[in-house]
Each structure stands twice: as structure tokens, then as C-alpha cells.
């Protein structure tokens, strides 16, 4: 069964993480994603990661995380030839996603209005820091900056250690998923109207989506969020020190807290309402601290799971990736190692399976310009035209890295 987006043509003119990750999600579902690489100004993530040899070859691990299933064409969009090629590619494209500064592509004659004349069915997605319009539209930003200015850092960490950014670039990846969802929505609407449209997506807005419950609590009840570390309003949720490590307990609802206290031999601690649980937080926490200190985190994890209480010991990434559940789900899939190295490496694909056409990796992340000639030929350019584009520096091709 074909995957959801097979037959879809996506032009990916994005860089760093959020935009490329959005295009990657379309690619693992079968879309033909053509990544536009700048010939002599590589995407900065191509040079980021712990492996210096890969960084020097513009194949850094940060790029590899969302580069699979794409084809690469090296184009200089500031040149007339590069713009001519892009317009040719957009004539029969379904999606164009870009994250240049607002107005930058429009100044080159590549804005939404320009491309809609070429292809009225095109879904044109612009990802920017603050959106197209408003007092901050001209500003740029990165994941860590958005975590800072959104209030996310201010509520992360403990009262003593805050503010802290999250260990993972959650804003970038959340923005990528929101972008993929917005594009999917526009494609669905196009099935009804026959017309494409412009999507204006802002990373600042996406960051606020991650704090929806906090925004509601502040707006409705005036509650200003503060850093609470691993403490929750209910003692049945939170981190507890065990004999050898930390256990994260998740007895969130009323049924789970009943199972928790019965399993621990303390039915007297069961409460009838969440309000009672909140009021007795200190007493419950003291009892749980004393009990959990008596056994290892792994012991408690297994014991509580047997009694239907969510719990897990705090693990390293290495331990998490060894979980047999991942192999069963296929969340991580193999792709050939870069630079001609032997073996393969794993990348995260998608968090869902489909009964027909699940996301999959079919080809490794390309090096810059790996498919330039192939893509130009597919767009109708002759050998002589391709040679002129390459000679003029508007395009670049590399047969191998």
C-alpha cells in the first residue's frame, strides 16, 4: 500500500531544524522532497554534531537526524539562474516550504503571490520567528531564544536552579510537527477547493502552544507559573529517591491513587477527591518518601506496573534506546552510514504506525548537490542549459562526496 504522500512533490528551502524536520515528516510518508542547498553556504546543521569528520564533510549528525528520504539540489537563489530553476520546480510542485526572513524571497520575486501565478495549486508555507507582520516580524531567533522569551525557561527547573532550557530542542521539533500539520491541512483543503494557499507559521506562536495549560491557568485563574522541578500538585505524581536512583511516579487519576495506596499497604491514605489529595500533599509525600527509599528504582518500577500504577525509573538515553518496545514499534530505523563508512546508523522516523503505508526510511540523507543534475533533467532542462547553470555558479553538482 502506498504511503500517504507518495506522488507529492515538496520543495524544501529551509534550514536548521524546524523547517527541515517538517519536510522530513512528509518525506518518511512518501513525498518526493527536494532540498535546496546553498552551494557555498551550507545549512549550519550540516556542520553540527560530535563527529568532526562528518561536520567537515557537511554531513553532521544534526543534519542526519532529519535528512533521509530527500534529494538535494545545490542552487544559488540570489542568482537569476537559480531563481529560474526554482520557478521551474514550483510549476508542478504541491508544497513549497521555506524559512527565510519575512520578505526575503518576495524581494527576489519568489514570494507567495509570485509563485501562485506560476502554480495556483501550490501550498506555500513560510516558517519564521514571529510571523509575517507585526512589530517583531523582522527579527530572527532560535529554539533557545524562544524558550527564553516565551516564559518556558522561567517555569523550567527548580526554584533554586531556574531558569533552565530543556535538554532537547523541543521548540524546533514541535514547530516542525505543527508545520507538517499545517501543510497537511492546506493540502486537505485543496482537495475541496482546488486552490493552494499561503501558510504563515511563527515559532514564537508554536512555543506558546507548548504552554497551553499554563496560559489557561493564568488567563482564567491568574496563576503565574513558577519553576517546580519534579514536584506536582498531587503527591502521587513526581520524582522520589529510591535505594539506588530516582523513580518517577504517575498515579495521576483517582483510580490510580487507589491502586497505589493499596499496593503499598496503606489503604488509609486513599482520598475521595483530588481536592483532598492536594490538601494532604505534604503528608502523602512524607509517607511515599519513606516507603520508596527502601527498595531500588527498578524494583519499584516493576512492582507498581504489576499493580497498574504508571511509574518508571529515570533512565539515560542509551538505556531508553535499548528498550525492546522501540524495536517492536520501528520508531528507529536504519540508514547507511555516511562517507562510505561500513554499517548503518539509526534515526528517529515518526511516532506513529499506520495500518497501511507506515512511515519509513528509503534513502540516506544526501550530500550537497547530490541530485542536482537528476532534478534539473526532471524539470526539463537540457544538458547545455545545465552546463551553463553550473558554469555560472547558479547550480552545483557533486557526483560523490
Catalytic machinery residues: 172
Question: What contacts 84, CB < 8 A, 6 or more positions away?
Answer: 394
The DSSP bridge partners found for residue 13 are: 98
* Whether the Cβ atoms of residue 303 and residue 276 lie closer than 8 Å to each other: no
**How many angstroms separate the CA atoms of 193 and 137, rounded?**
30
Helices (H) then strands (E): counts for the chain? 17, 12
Phi then psi for residue 83, to 5 deg, are -70, -35
* Whether the Cβ atoms of residue 85 and residue 40 lie closer than 8 Å to each other: no
- Residue 343, Ramachandran bin (φ over 0: left; ψ between -120 and 50: alpha; else beta): left
Question: What contacts 401, CB < 8 A, 6 or more positions away?
Answer: 57, 59, 338, 339, 367, 370
- Is residue 390 helix, strand or coil? helix
- 117-134 CB burial, b ≥16 within 10 A, e <16: ebbeebbbbbbbbbbbee
* Whether the Cβ atoms of residue 349 and residue 361 lie closer than 8 Å to each other: yes
- Is residue 11 helix, strand or coil? strand
**How many angstroms separate the CA atoms of 169 and 186, rounded?**
26
* Whether the Cβ atoms of residue 183 and residue 122 lie closer than 8 Å to each other: no
Where do the H-state alpha helices sit in 228-294? Answer: 254-263, 274-279, 281-292
The DSSP bridge partners found for residue 216 are: none
**How many angstroms separate the CA atoms of 65 and 382, rounded?**
34
Nearest to 119, CA basis, from 24, 26, 22, 194: 194
**DSSP-based helix, strand, coil % in the chain, nearest 5:** 40, 15, 45
Amino acid at each position: 500500500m502506498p504511503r500517504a504522500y507518495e506522488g507529492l512533490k515538496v520543495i524544501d528551502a529551509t534550514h536548521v531544524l524546524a523547517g527541515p524536520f517538517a519536510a522530513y515528516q512528509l518525506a518518511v510518508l512518501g513525498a518526493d522532497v527536494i532540498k535546496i542547498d546553498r552551494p557555498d553556504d551550507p545549512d549550519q546543521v550540516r556542520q553540527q554534531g560530535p563527529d568532526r569528520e562528518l561536520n567537515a564533510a557537511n554531513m553532521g549528525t544534526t543534519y542526519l537526524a532529519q535528512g533521509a528520504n530527500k534529494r538535494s539540489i545545490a542552487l544559488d537563489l540570489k542568482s537569476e539562474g537559480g531563481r529560474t530553476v526554482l520557478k521551474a520546480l514550483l510549476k508542478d510542485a504541491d508544497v513549497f516550504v521555506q524559512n527565510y526572513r519575512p520578505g526575503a524571497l518576495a524581494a527576489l520575486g519568489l514570494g507567495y503571490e509570485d509563485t501562485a501565478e506560476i502554480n495556483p495549486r501550490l501550498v506555500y508555507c513560510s516558517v519564521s520567528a514571529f510571523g509575517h507582520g507585526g512589530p517583531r516580524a523582522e527579527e530572527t531567533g532560535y529554539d533557545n531564544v524562544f524558550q527564553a522569551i516565551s516564559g518556558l525557561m522561567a517555569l523550567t527547573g527548580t526554584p533554586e536552579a531556574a531558569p533552565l532550557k530543556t535538554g532537547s530542542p523541543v521548540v524546533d521539533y514541535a514547530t516542525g510537527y505543527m508545520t507538517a500539520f499545517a501543510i497537511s491541512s492546506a493540502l486537505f483543503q485543496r482537495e475541496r477547493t482546488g486552490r493552494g494557499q499561503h501558510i504563515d507559521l511563527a515559532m514564537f506562536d508554536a512555543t506558546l502552544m507548548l504552554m497551553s495549560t499554563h496560559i489557561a491557568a493564568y488567563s482564567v485563574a491568574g496563576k503565574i507559573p513558577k519553576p517546580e522541578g519534579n514536584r506536582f500538585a498531587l503527591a502521587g505524581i513526581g520524582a522520589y529517591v529510591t535505594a539506588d536512583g530516582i523513580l518517577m511516579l504517575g498515579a495521576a487519576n483517582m483510580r490510580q491513587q487507589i491502586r497505589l495506596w493499596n499496593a503499598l499497604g496503606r489503604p488509609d491514605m486513599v482520598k475521595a477527591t483530588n481536592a483532598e489529595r492536594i490538601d494532604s500533599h505534604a503528608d502523602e509525600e512524607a509517607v511515599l518518601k519513606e516507603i520508596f527509599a527502601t527498595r531500588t528504582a527498578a524494583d519499584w518500577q516493576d512492582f507498581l506496573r504489576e499493580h497498574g500504577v504508571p511509574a518508571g525509573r529515570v533512565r539515560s538515553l542509551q538505556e531508553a534506546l535499548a528498550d525492546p518496545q522501540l524495536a517492536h514499534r520501528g520508531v528507529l530505523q536504519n540508514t547507511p552510514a555516511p562517507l562510505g563508512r561500513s554499517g548503518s546508523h539509526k534515526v528517529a522516523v515518526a511516532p506513529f504506525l499506520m495500518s497501511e503505508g507506515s512511515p519509513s526510511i528509503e534513502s540516506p540523507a544526501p550530500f550537497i548537490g547530490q541530485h542536482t543534475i537528476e532534478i534539473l533533467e526532471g524539470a526539463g532542462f537540457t544538458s547545455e542549459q545545465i552546463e551553463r547553470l553550473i558554469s555560472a555558479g547558479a547550480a552545483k553538482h557533486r557526483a560523490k562526496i
